[in-house]
Amino acid sequence: MGKKSDMRRFTRDLEREVKGIAREKIKRGGLEIECPACGSPMHASSGLNTCPACGKTTEVTFDWTNF
């Protein structure tokens, strides 16, 4: 890894791998968000989600275009 181009390739590949792992974890397990209606924390995955505090339904979609 003595060359500058080797380091850039290593960095690019590492970033791609980390982003891929993050995408898969979010797709499988969702993530914690703040309910847009009441502000309470809630677990959400892609699709329709209901806040346990206020009962409002929120649709969640993940935009991966810039990730």
pTM of the model: 0.61
pLDDT tens-place string over residues 22-55: 888 888 888 899 999 999 999 999 899 999 999 9
User: What is the torsional sign of CA 49, 58, 38, 32?
Assistant: positive
Alpha-carbon distance 59 to 11, whole Å? 35
In sequence order, what DSSP letters do the residues of 37-56 get, joined into one string?
TT--EEEE-SEEEE-TTT--
Give the confidence band of 65 by pLDDT, cuts at 50, 70, 90.
Answer: confident
For the chain, the C-alpha Rg in angstroms (whole number) is 17
- For 63, phi then psi, to 5°, come to -100, 110
pLDDT value at residue 2: 64
